[in-house]
Structure 1
Amino acid sequence: MPTVEKKLDDQQTATAQGPREAAAPKPLRADAQRNRDRLVEVAATAFAEQGVDASLEEIARKAGVGIGTLYRHFPTREHLVEVVYRREVEALCAAADDLASHHPADVALEQWMQRFVDYIATKRGLAASLRILFNTNSAVFSDMSGRVSLALRQLVEAAVAEGSIRSDIDASDVLHALGGIYSAPDTKDWRDRSRRLVKLLMDGLRFGAGKGGG
């Protein structure tokens, strides 16, 4: 059985080649799937709070598994980064449908944009490794960014149709405004400031709307 040290020695070679996707992965046992899901969940929080250099040993410890288990699921750090990135995008897109089915359209849009702040926080933490992944697997980014744009467009168009935000708004304008949050300085109060900016953005979107506008 390969040792942890051997896996670490192989990491640089695997990184240069980029994360590999198995064509037809075997289904995991229930306990193995739980371990994998927990590792991804803990890694997402660690990367958002500490950046992509967060300790893999600490991620494994907080997930309640050994470092060998982490490397069995994710042979390289970049592999783990890609899985975390996909998870964050999928959760963000799923939230759009869930919020739209439980709230008025403008409320669903505002709550989704607040979740977008958390998504950006994780993406900022992954930035260095995401640049490496972009060079080795750019299809991941075109697919994921397209899904986020579609989710936002559906929410914006629903709110326009409902009359709860201005009709002269395009989803690309909203995405451009949200993009400014990503480039804001990484201060301790970044999330709080970003959430306030989302509220200000929604005030602007609602102003002059056919329903509930100023």
Structure 2
Amino acid sequence: MAEPARRRPMRADARRNRDRIVAAAQEVFAADGARASLEEIARRAGVGSATLHRHFPTRRSLLDVVFHDRVEALCAKAGEHADRREPGDALVAWLGDLNVYAAASHGLVSSLLRDGPDADLLKRNDDCQAMITAAAGELLDRAQRAGAARPGVRVEDLLALVSALSLAAEQRDDDEGRANRLLDIAVNGVLLPR
């Protein structure tokens, strides 16, 4: 039986191009939805269309990376907050990060759901949902053990709450701080008085 071909490490310039494409795609998809122009993404990344397609042969492959990378960065922030803050403060700070992520992602998620062909991307990213749930669960558990968060609060409730808040705020384009204000109000129901 033949040995499978080994993947060669990516050259430094190819890696830079890939990183620029992903960064540009995050911005363009967030602004214009899942059907955003791939040519616009290539232009913003400073690469040609062929380079974009060499790294990401399909729109779906690029969307998948954008979702995954954003979730990894969000979950890394949970660890940073846990290392630098008291348990209750770490939970609140990360819920703020999650709120920003959810607000930025709702337009993309709504677009995916409307546009249809890539809607199952949301289902395929179960590992992203698992990463977010684990990060939130660790922070919540830590806050509850420290007596900073109510014992009956469940991680699924927190995630649903932040999602609902960002969706409610999305309905009013005239007030970009609404999701943060709503989160501040909701957090009072999660944290125990000091």
Q: TM-score range by the shorter chain?
A: 0.7 to 0.9
**2:132 is equivalent to residue 148 of structure 1:** yes
> Is contact 2:166-2:179 (8 Å) kept?
no
Quick check: 1:45–1:122 contact (8 Å CA) kept in 2?
no
Unaligned runs of 5+ in 2: none
Superposed CA offset, 1:7-48 (max 9, x none): xxxxxxxxxxxxxxxx96432111111111111112112211
- 1:1-214 aligned at under 5 Å gives the runs 25-127=7-109, 128-129=111-112, 132-133=117-118, 135=120, 138=123, 140-184=124-168, 185-189=170-174, 191-206=176-191, 208-209=192-193, 212=194
Q: Is the 8 A contact 1:160 1:166 kept in 2?
A: yes
Cα distance in 1 for partners of 2:88, 2:122 equals 35
Q: TM-score, normalised by structure 1?
A: 0.76
Report the aligned-residue RMSD. 2.4
Question: Contact (CA 8 Å) 1:108, 1:155: kept in 2 or not?
Answer: yes
With the length of structure 2 as denominator, give the TM-score of the two structures.
0.83
Percent identity, please: 37
Give the AA of the match of 1:84: V
Runs of 5+ consecutive residues of structure 1 not aligned to the other structure: 1-22
Deviation at 1:145, TM superposition (A): 0.8
The residue type paired with residue 192 of structure 1 is G
For the Cα contact (< 8 Å) 1:81–1:126, is it kept in 2? Answer: no
| 1:140-166 alpha-carbon deviations (Å, 9 max, x no partner) | 322221111111010111111112222
What is the distance in 2 between the residues matched to 1:204 and 1:60?
45
Would you say the 8 A contact 1:40–1:83 is kept in 2? yes
The structure-2 alpha-carbon separation of the partners of 1:163 and 1:24, relative to structure 1 and needing over 3 Å to count, comes to farther
Matched positions, count: 186
Give the counterpart letter for 1:157 in structure 2: D
Question: Does the C-alpha gap of structure 1 residues 125 and 79 become closer, same or farther in structure 2, counting only changes over 3 Å?
Answer: farther
